[in-house]
Structure 1
Amino acid sequence: MKYKVVGLGLVAFAIAGCAGKEEREIASGSFEYLEAAQHKSLDVPEDFDSPNYSQRYILPDVGENAPKDLKGKKLKVTPPSLILPLVAGTHVEEGSEDAKVLFDQVNDNEPLQKTVWDTVLTYLEKSSVGVEKFEKENNILVTDWVTEIREVPSSWYDFTDNLVTVKKKFKFTMTLAPHGRTAALRTELVDYVDEQGRAALDQVDLISKRTAESNFLNNVITEYDFGIRLANTQRIAKIRQGFNTDMGFDADGNPAFVVDAVYENTWPRLLLVLRKMGFDVKDLDQSTGLLFVQYNGIESSWWSGLFGSEDKLDIEKNEYRLQLGGVGEKTTVTFMDNESKPFDAKRITKIFAPFKDFMGNEDLDI
């Protein structure tokens, strides 16, 4: 008899644990409050004074646009999904009710508008979702059908998979700030087909609609994060590999080194090269490309014997200045004395060979 009691308990536990998703989204307990009616106010005889009523617990009137049928089992108790601005350069507006995220400019190599739209298109392509309409000039994109497969709750003893398919379409709208360095991307559910194949957008409750919009936008944010990390990884790999350098001239016609790399990649590589060449950086300003350095003597290296027995550059131990300038896909590096007078061709040629080797050395310890 004891075993029977335990067996019934396990069955009851199994049944309780098989509650469907819909059941978990509604309030549990009694819904008798739906039958409640407004109580009649207290009747006070004319010869008596009316008591003072507290206004503390009076419920506000329901707004004209508020849904009137969200009550009882139709009222979901699950909170709406949140937008997750977990990527550097993303944030949300406090109190915003839209599924919207704001992107700040983090890559100056291309316009922010292009970066965001490329991210959206990349995510859609990876998810095998087509594009129904893309008005780039109006910053509007509407997806094709996004298919979602759901599991329908069944009896606890039914071990077969009951799957249904619903379809959704989303609209992306981008709003650019006047300065062009911040873009707000908003996602909206614009079409919905239920498991019966019927258009049922007007049947989607507010919480479900917001959840669908937020989840879809969060996937785009995740793709944006992946793109940034991938770009950084590729950039670091390029910097590690080194860059070719030739002799040439800067924008002012002064003799200079011409590095075969964009400014953003040349700058960190140069800081490492200068340290290896015996320079200490005393001050720098990446926005203007100016560095103030002190030459203290070059470090011992495997190639020092190739350029003489003494482990030093053919310049005096003194203070110098370097000026970097971006020229398309290349960067010029102009060496100057401590009074900003550029090196002449003869003087800069003396340090070209070690500079070229360090800039192009793939084994540079960084």
Structure 2
Amino acid sequence: MQYWIPKALMLSALVSLSGCGIFTSEAHHPRNYRTNEPVVAPEGLDAPRQDPTYKMDVARYDNSEQAKATKPPMQIMPLAEGSWLDENEKLARVYFDKNEGIEDLDEFIWHAIEGVLSDYNTQAVSADKLIGTVETDWFSIVRVEEGWLWDDEIVAEQRYKFIIEEKDHQRTAALRAEMVDYRSDDVPLTPLLQQRLETRALNAVISEFDYRYRQLKVELRQRQGIISLDMGFDNKGNAALVTEQAYNVVFERFAGFLERLQFTIVEVDVDSGRIIADYTKPEASVWDSIWGEEAMQLPLEDGQYQILMSTTREGGTSITWMDKEGEVLQPGTMNDLQQALVQALRIRGIQI
């Protein structure tokens, strides 16, 4: 008896994958397009009265039995940070806002287009940065491995023109994809197919833009990773964390940094430079590892802590860590805490 279970599962999988290869569609059978004949009264009985106002002619609808596959228009996917669409847009166009770290938005989009052409083993036949246009050589935007479900019948090559339109304030730029030529021995070009291919080409650039900006953000984090947060002493001789940053800058940002490390802010006293916060060690989650935001555990016990900030004699800022009763933490604990905080600052690209 135990042998039929895997066989049944295998058969179920084959049926699911084969779909219409096993079960024929009756959607286009002629009988589905034939209206019923009017009711015929038996001999000897009067036919029911019919109001001519609601009388409908008996009709037949001729339709091919073979289903005619139609496809919806492809959607532009503004997945890159700072990208967006105009709801009333009729063309394959996307808008990019200038994100942090991007010095020249036009140039960044140019590099994204070049990356797509390189990925598809093609090149630009003409490019004019002053006008903002790039015209590509022949290539197929539909890869063979991508065409298993939706575009396996498209055996074609295209040439595209990408048009960059930057706003006067240079904080926003639009990118448009326009097909300039098409060739195929099997598939004629239709307006719907052209829309789908232009949108696919535009989505490829958006994806490359997103990839390159993610790389740039990593570089920015690495540049900001040199954090001046060292072990030292406050003005009273207690072991403390010391930074060269000015007191007002550190105090303004430190509470927000603590909240990202699972602290709950209880009180912030600007006059005394004291922050009271509760700490609870975070629990690791599968989703944390998937999204790359693994919760960091500090070398502290759960409970309430007081963080006192003051200006050092050198003009920097000291951060003295105390427990709920106001007792300064031991130097060994402070040393472990300093290493954990510096690591957290670098991973998150935060500078205090």
Q: Normalising TM by the smaller chain, what interval? A: 0.3 to 0.5
Give TM-score, length-normalised by structure 1: 0.46
